[in-house]
Homo-oligomer: A and B are copies of this chain.
Amino acid sequence: MKAYIEANKERFFEELFSLLRIPSVSSLPEHGPDMQRCAERLVELLMEAGADEAAVYPTTGHPVVFGKKIIDPSLPTVLVYGHMDVQPVDPIELWKSDPFEPEIRDGAIYARGANDDKGQLFMHIKAFEYLVRSGKLRHNVKFIFEGEEEIGSPSLAPWAKEHKDLLAADIILVSDTTMISEEVPSINCGMRGLSYVEVKVTGPNKDLHSGHYGGAVANPINVLCDMISSLIDKEGHITVKGFYDEVVELSDEDRAKLGRAPFNLEEYKNFLDINEVKGEKGYTTLERVGIRPCLDVCGIWGGYTGFGAKTVLPSEAHAKISMRLVPNQDSATITKLFAEHFKAIAPDYVKVEVTPCHGGDGFLIPISSKAYQAASKAMTEVYGIEPVPARGGGSIPILADLQRILGIDPLLMGFGLERDTIHSPNESYLLKQLFAGMESIALFYQYY
């Protein structure tokens, strides 16, 4: 497919940029029309690439795009999953170029969604196009692109339940993850789940003058800090009661296998400009993100946050807390345990509220599967080195749902890199990964 890429490169850029220019931020209600535009553009691209049919389907939330090409019902069917929605762009002032006006700099595309996931789903459309046009397609192919991955996919699971026949396939193929490094290709064989909650701590019923009340009335920000601080103990364990009950401890053998992934702690620290890493005692950095759950405050706010000094003892303090879960931890159960725990540790002098935001379970896929082996062979050919089986720290909660609803395993061939800084300012995607991904995907079909 190398020659095909070379011959069509400029058109590919134009097509991908047309997607990246649409600000399809799923978490902000004002971007509803952009979700629709983005869905319609994907339908066009699928049809142009050779799909028999493709359409925008309404859901209870943002729409989904479904398209397919059935060449012979008796042949195996590949279901490609991707998501067209993106994360918000703030802090916008840190972007070097407009997040919705893609720019190629130093061999990479810079834009919100350049990697996650518009850039990665685009590789699948182009590999499919190549197979169709070159007459090499030997599978039925279906595409499902959703618009709510970044907000926990609330509508896709119910939609998938109603459209099980439409989605019937032998494997779910996904590119929405990263490789270990530019030189070390990897295939994710497991992902963490997620429980994401918003908490609110209320002290006095109004903002107070910190001089008149300070020292005598509990300050909800101080109390929130105390409560958050108590959620992780000195050894890095999460203190929520029952949190680890369902966590499967890996065998030493499995840990050794995962430990083969190349990792350089000094490079890692340099890349992040930190003097020290921090995490659960008894686990390596890769284990901490791969096989262990964690708890992070993703946002906190309360009181006066403007310029200068305002002496206020505020009425409320808020935080957004994300818990990354490992396979076997049930997201709904963890959310419930967290809410119970957080309320239980709240002191008498404040009131607390816990609002579940989104969540999803983790999952594991067998390395011995035909699909994993085909992907491994394809990537070995493209990268000249056998990909490492890895456990991903991120979450694609909907994949665990689809696995359960459709009864088929997902395979995660991700081509992102750490340097792409997805979810952050200046998200990018290396051109060489974009093209290597297209080649790997095309070869996957050959070996599957």
Contact = CB atoms under 8 A, between A and B. Distances in A.
Interface string A208-233: 11111111111101101110111010
B152 A221 contact: no
B310 A203 contact: no
A320 B304 contact: yes
A27 B298 contact: no
A311 B304 contact: no
Interface string A303-324: 1111111111110011110101
B296 A219 contact: yes
A222 B304 contact: no
- Chain A contact patch, size range: 35 or more
A32 interface: no
Contact of A211 (B88, B216, B224, B392): B392
Contact of A306 (B90, B294, B358): B90
B299 A303 contact: yes
A314 B320 CA distance: 12
A210 B296 CA distance: 7
Contacts of A392: 211-212
B274 A300 contact: no
B348 A276 contact: yes
Contacts of A29: 307
Contacts of A314: 298-299
A288 B213 CA distance: 9
A424 B316 CA distance: 13
A392 to B, nearest CB: 7
Contacts of A289: 211-216
Interface stretch (A41-49, A131-139, A367-375, A415-423): A415-423
A207 B297 contact: no
A194 to B, nearest CB: 7
A63 interface: no
Most chain B CB neighbours (cut-off 10 Å) among A205, A219, A225, A347: A225
Contact of A298 (B88, B294, B310): B310
B424 A280 contact: no
A231 to B, nearest CB: 8
A28 interface: yes
A294 B214 contact: yes
B217 A312 contact: no
Contacts of A224: 225, 300
Interface string A86-104: 0110110000000000000
A306 B27 contact: yes
A206 interface: yes
A422 B210 CA distance: 10
A136 to B, nearest CB: 34
A211 B393 contact: yes
Contacts of A212: 178, 289, 392-394, 418
A146 to B, nearest CB: 16
A137 B425 CA distance: 67
A357 interface: yes
A277 interface: yes
A203 B336 CA distance: 30
B305 A301 contact: yes
30 contacts: A27-B308, A87-B310, A196-B311, A205-B273, A208-B423, A211-B289, A211-B393, A213-B272, A215-B288, A216-B285, A221-B296, A221-B299, A222-B229, A222-B232, A224-B300, A225-B297, A229-B229, A274-B350, A276-B348, A278-B347, A298-B309, A298-B312, A298-B313, A298-B314, A300-B300, A304-B320, A309-B357, A311-B322, A311-B394, A312-B424
